[in-house]
Chain A
């Protein structure tokens, strides 16, 4: 009975990575919707984490997001990722308008043992993720209006010993001149801790 209870409460490393990837996927999708980077008619509502989240139906975006996130998941399991930056830049002059940093911290045992198990309940994790997603949606109220055609890129900050796949390439970091930052809530799966920070070009 006791073992069963434990197995119910426990979260595996893979499960944690999947949760993190789900969070990133929905976070990125809702940022794309909320910030108006793609037309709102190309989004549909889906129910996740007890929230109705707008997910892009654009095939190109999905074709980009799915391989990136699956690759990221592998790296996350190997503890190679430091953070993921979603860079929103102006198409016309490549100026970086916004950067959403999703910082990963590895909790629990330091080695990347695939059998490591967390001790946090799924419902509480989901609640935390829901709170962060809500906060992402509410950031629209104070973030400056993006009044130019924008595109986004996902930059992954990894450890130097990571193998670079064929479709991937090294890139330069993107900084925002005159930036203001806001740290959103963070959530933890008891194996991964995810801090979300948005940096944006301050209007002066």
Chain B
């Protein structure tokens, strides 16, 4: 909207400018005065700021003459609109400022609240830390108690183990005793055996041997029995041992029971305490749970704090950015103001609201275009100036020549005028003298008639005669003097000659002028040709350095072209080969192909072919000529026209044959000539038989035929001649 309005404004202002430019000089002052009434209210309404910012031009444009009331109304409306816009913009600006302030305040409040929260959180964290420490110390105490209890239990277990080991030792001692008892038993048994032997050996050594043996057997059996008994005893003893062990175990159990009862009592006491401890534990657990919750909360809070800190940092950054932006804004506003000032300074007839970069760009573009146009014009003018200078030089030359001619002509003219003047003077003098003489003669005649012969007058006469003679001599002098030759001279020859000469002179002058014109023309042509690069071929030699950049460039270009062509050829071959499906050794194949059918070679060969063809043609021509000559010479020397026909056939027609059909046919067959039959050969069969049949020589036949035919023809000739002679006779 704004832009379009601005455009409208500029449009109106432009119209106004146009109008102003038309009649500024004439009636500006007057219109200013008259328009004051119309625009005074508006001008009063204008804000001070606006007035200050408006350039004098603009004010003029506002206060400038308005030719029609419609325009003034229109402008007024626009002005009001513009002011309303400005007011709205200012309001908006204020609102924006207020908003910004409010936002700043909110931001600060939030910041303070956040800081407060952070402090609170820090405090709670500290409290929680102290609680945590307490809980940890309690925990440590409990652990210590637990350890003490565990130690006590361990000591009790150790005591029990000691007791068990001592019981084991006692058990072992008892077993040892049992073993010693069995040993004593065996000893007693041995003693018994020895006693029996001594009793019965003495008395009944031989008799009782069997009985002894039997006894021994009995004894052995007894022993076996006893051994069994011993075994039983041993079993009994084992049982006793086991029983003892049982007893001991029971004793141990009893002791352990007693101890356990002690322990149980202790445990009971402990159990009595356990409830309270459990309660404590529960409470502690609850506390721990609460602490954990607290810890979690603190962690959450810490996280929150961290996020808040990061946010704070961000906000700080934003704040700094905002500060920078504000400063940038201020700087850019300053710049904008400067730009606007510059724009106002540069672009005339513009309001501040119009000072957009587009307009500036448009203005600059216009200026550039104008500049470009001016540069173009300048170039054209330069060239035209150069041309005109050339022309001026030529014209000056012409002028100088013309001036010289004029000077020559004026000289001639002056000379002629001088001569004419002289001649006129002469004429005048002569006529005067003539008249004088006439008068004199008349007076003399009068005097003679009146006075007659008077002596006194003789002297006068003599004087007069002398004068006359003097005059006469003068006359002759004048006549003889060619410089004083007068047109009044009676000699017509002279006049004619003079006229002729004058005519000739005029003709010559005309010719001279024509020649001069031609000369100028030719000079111009020579100049023009020299400009075009023409020169005198006979008196110049054009030299250049052999290794000049141009020739190098040409050769380089040629080489590059040849290379490129070769490459194209190669690539074409490559494409062909690829299309044919060759993939192995592609480059080699291409190279060989290019070598074999390179177009250059083809072209060379074609050229060779052409030259060969031309050579062939020339040879053919030469051959034709020489063969013609040869045939003609053969014809004149040997008297036969030889025509080569197909199948190695030759037709011989004699020089002296009567008809063209009178000819001989020969065929060359394996190196030898054979005469073929013709209508003519039938008529000379005799000759053939003689020369070919007997002498076997074709040349002889031919020569004899020639002689024969010659004789016949010459005879006819002579006959004709004799006939003629006879007729004449």
Question: Which A positions have Cβ atoms within 8 angstroms of B?
Answer: 60-61, 64, 67-68, 82-83, 85, 87, 89, 91-92, 94, 99, 101, 103, 138, 141-142, 149-160, 162, 164, 167-176, 179, 181-184, 197, 199
Contacts and interface: CB of A to CB of B under 8 A. Distances in A.
B532 A171 contact: no
A151 B549 contact: yes
A183 B544 CA distance: 23
B542 A170 contact: yes
B543 A170 contact: yes
Contacts of A157: 535, 540-542
A51 to B, nearest CB: 19
Contact of B546 (A89, A155, A162, A167): A167
Given A173-B542, A197-B531, 20 more contacts: A82-B535, A82-B540, A99-B533, A101-B533, A141-B375, A149-B557, A153-B550, A155-B542, A155-B543, A155-B544, A156-B542, A157-B542, A159-B540, A160-B540, A164-B541, A168-B545, A172-B542, A174-B533, A182-B383, A184-B386
Nearest to A61: B549
B552 A151 contact: yes
B293 interface: no
A182 B531 CA distance: 8
Contacts of B556: 91
A167 B550 contact: no
Nearest to B387: A182
A199 B545 CA distance: 22
Contact of B532 (A67, A160, A172, A181): A181
B545 A158 contact: no
8 contacts: A99-B533, A103-B530, A151-B549, A169-B544, A171-B542, A174-B533, A199-B532, A199-B533
Contacts of A89: 550
Nearest to A38: B549
A24 B532 CA distance: 20
B581 interface: no
A167 B545 contact: yes
B56 interface: no
Given A61-B549, A87-B550, A174-B533, A142 B541 contact: no
B379 A156 contact: no
A70 B79 CA distance: 79
Given A94-B554, A151-B552, A173-B535, A141 B544 contact: no
A181 B543 contact: no
B541 A160 contact: yes
Interface in B549-569: 549-554, 556-557
A91 B551 CA distance: 9
Interface residues of B, number: 33
A168 B386 contact: no
B382 interface: yes
A105 to B, nearest CB: 12
A181 to B, nearest CB: 4
Contacts of A99: 533
Contact of A162 (B379, B541, B545, B557): B541
B542 A175 contact: no
A133 B551 CA distance: 27
Given A64-B548, A94-B554, A168-B546, A159 B533 contact: no
A142 B383 CA distance: 8
Nearest to A197: B531
Interface string B576-589: 00000000000000
A197 B378 CA distance: 20
B709 to A, nearest CB: 68
B540 A158 contact: yes
Contacts of B545: 64, 67-68, 154, 167-168
A45 to B, nearest CB: 22
A83 B542 CA distance: 9
A169 B544 CA distance: 6
A202 B550 CA distance: 22
Contacts of A61: 549
B614 interface: no
B187 to A, nearest CB: 135
B526 to A, nearest CB: 13
A99 B386 CA distance: 18
Contact of A176 (B386, B533, B535, B551): B533
A94 to B, nearest CB: 6
A67 B541 CA distance: 19
B390 interface: yes
A92 B556 CA distance: 10
A159 B531 contact: no
B539 interface: yes
Contacts of A175: 532-533
Given A85-B533, A174-B533, A154 B544 contact: yes
Contacts of A150: 553
B542 A154 contact: no
A170 B541 contact: yes
A167 B546 CA distance: 6
A156 B544 contact: yes
B192 interface: no
Nearest to A142: B379
B548 A154 contact: yes
A152 B542 contact: no
B30 interface: no
Given A160-B540, A167-B545, A171-B542, A181 B552 contact: no
B454 interface: no
Contacts of B552: 60, 151
B390 A183 contact: yes
Interface string B354-385: 00000000000000000000010011101100
Instruction: Pick the most buried of A85, A141, A176: most chain B CB atoms within 10 A of its CB.
Output: A141
Contacts of B547: 64, 167
Contact of B549 (A64, A142, A174, A199): A64
A150 B557 CA distance: 11
Nearest 7 pairs of A and B residues by beta carbon = A151-B553, A153-B550, A151-B550, A181-B531, A141-B379, A91-B553, A153-B548
A138 B544 contact: no
Contact of A159 (B383, B539, B549, B557): B539
Instruction: Pick the most buried of B383, B539, B543, B545: most chain A CB atoms within 10 A of its CB.
Output: B543
B531 A183 contact: yes
A142 B535 CA distance: 26
Contacts of B557: 91-92, 149
Contacts of B379: 141-142
Nearest to A153: B550
